[in-house]
Every structure is written in structure tokens, then in C-alpha cells.
A and B are shown apart, each in its own frame.
Chain A
């Protein structure tokens, strides 16, 4: 039976969908059967991030409304044969998508996968509640900004009084050069204040933007690709290897890199 994990944040635009797609890719590269489900109905993007937007025939709403069977709404990833996406492209008729309906769809698929990752909408209202209802675990994504951390703290509190049994923290868009010069909070400062287990850290990386434009879903050897790989391993094995965003800015080369980065 699959581990069902919702990827959430509170604040919008912090990298949930990107993490969902990239983590799914890394888990499937490690041999896991992974299903990504877009529960961000109306503001869906998982299909685009996965580069499968042209392949969508049926979606989650079609399954719920009985127009197709759950398996007919699955799209296989181009690069990883054990990675599948269930998109949600219908922006109308939200009301049919209840938490119970989503759970029922997932229950029909969970025996065929090792992981089901749910891409959650931003916010803490009904769509958020609907997304977390079917999951057992949650990954809370934050960026090192006070507004994002504050919203995440509210989400963490809500998760602790919900059906979620275990929550993890992922800190995204971290700039090692700014941590080194003490201009932003360190990873340790953030995880200590939010008080949930740190699953991983992802550096700010232009490669993510490029990879999203061409739709190749982090196949390269960029720092963020490596960070996603560590997160997948930590999630799967329970290891605690956290990407060190500051390592590129240490030593003589690091000194130059840091100064160049500040000036451009």
C-alpha cells in the first residue's frame, strides 16, 4: 500500500508543485512506483511542470464524476516509466471534488504504487482541508522569508490536529551566500523555530526555471537536482542527509563566487 504524502505550505508560490514533480522523479529513479496527484483544482500546474499538458485526456474530476476509470486518468512520465501523474485540468465544478471523493479515488489506486504525492493548493481553507484528508504524512515547504515561515507555522499547527501522522519540513530557495554573510536566517534557526523534522534543503537555482521551461523535470546534475535526490533518500530510508547550501561559498573560490553573485 502506498505512502500518501501531501505537499503543502500555507503561502503560495514557495515551490510545492516543483518539489512534488522533482521528488516524484527522484523516488521513481530509485525504483519506486510513484503517483503524483494534482489536488490544486482550478490553479493546477502539475501537468505543465511535468511536461505532460498535451497528453491530458481525463483528469481527477472526470474520475470523480464517473466519466472514466481511475487508471484512464493516469499519464506516464516521459523519462521515468514508474512515475505517473493524475492531473486536474477542469477548473469548473469544484463542488463535486470533496475530500471523501478524492480519498475514494486514491483508495482504488494505492495498491499499485509505493508513493502517492498530493500537490496541495496554497492557503488553509477548504481546498487545503480537502487535500490533506486523504494523506497520512505531510511535507511543509517554506522559503526563508518571515511571511512564508509564519504561514507554515499555522499549517503545522493545523496538521498536528488533523489526520496527518507525521510532518516534515523542506526549506526551499535557500541562498548559501546570504547565510554565510548572516543576512538571512540559517537552516538551523528556521527548523528550530518551526519544530518539525527537517527533511531537506533546496538551494535557489536558476536551473529549476530553465528545466520547467523545457519540461525536463530536473534530470540534470544541478545543485537542486542533487538536493531533491537527498530529500527522496531521506524520505525513503529515514536518513538525514541535508544539502549544504553554503558549501559552494567556502574557501577561495567560494569567496569569489559570493562576491560575483552579490554584484550581478
Chain B
């Protein structure tokens, strides 16, 4: 059984993380669009599958998680 001080700490951590993860929708849109452009040079990205999550990582910074589906890898010449 956790002591009340640890329960308090965990609840506070959760609240602080939730408060901060709100990334403005405008910024998310811009980032998604720029990332799409970049990845699309190499992969055939399904645009609507693209997702971007920004979460506080407990070290005071952010973890940015990008997920998307791609149909195939584009051929861009021979890499030696």
C-alpha cells in the first residue's frame, strides 16, 4: 500500500504532465505538415495516418512521438 505522500506525488506528477502536454493545435498542424514533406521524400506516407504526440518526459524535457503508415519505400538511387 502506498503512503499518502507517494500517492500525492504520483497524482501531482500526472496533473503536471497533463497540464503541459497541451501542444497548441496550430503548432501540431505546422509540424505535421513539415514532417510529411520531409518523410515523403523517402517514403510514400499515408498523410491521414500521421500522428504527433508531445509528452513531458520527467526530466523536464519533451518526448516527441511521430507515427505514420507508409505504402512503400521510394527508390532514390543506389546507395553504395
Contacts and interface: CB of A to CB of B under 8 A. Distances in A.
A125 interface: no
Interface stretch (B4-12, B29-37, B38-46, B62-70): B4-12
A206 interface: no
Nearest to A186: B5
B13 to A, nearest CB: 7
Interface string B23-62: 0000000000000000000000000000000000000100
Given A153-B19, A154-B19, A184 B5 contact: yes
A189 B15 contact: no
B9 A193 contact: yes
A146 B16 CA distance: 10
Contact of B8 (A154, A157, A185, A195): A185
A185 B9 contact: yes
Contact of A189 (B9, B16, B19, B60): B9
Contact of A146 (B3, B6, B12, B20): B12
Interface string A140-152: 0000001001100
Contacts of B15: 146, 150
A146 to B, nearest CB: 5
Chain B residues touching A, majority SS: helix
B11 A146 contact: yes
Nearest to B11: A146
Interface string A43-56: 00000000000000
A239 to B, nearest CB: 25
A195 B60 contact: yes
Nearest to B13: A193
Interface of A: 146, 149-150, 153-154, 157, 179, 182-186, 189, 193, 195
Closest 10 CB pairs of A and B: A182-B3, A182-B5, A183-B4, A185-B8, A185-B5, A189-B9, A150-B15, A146-B12, A153-B16, A185-B9
30 contacts: A146-B8, A146-B11, A146-B12, A146-B15, A149-B12, A150-B12, A150-B15, A150-B16, A150-B19, A153-B16, A153-B19, A154-B19, A157-B20, A179-B5, A182-B3, A182-B5, A182-B6, A183-B4, A184-B4, A184-B8, A185-B8, A185-B9, A186-B5, A189-B8, A189-B9, A193-B9, A193-B12, A193-B13, A193-B16, A195-B60
Given A149-B12, A184-B8, 19 more contacts: A146-B8, A146-B11, A146-B12, A150-B12, A153-B19, A157-B20, A179-B5, A182-B3, A182-B4, A182-B5, A183-B5, A185-B8, A185-B9, A186-B5, A189-B8, A189-B9, A193-B9, A193-B13, A193-B16
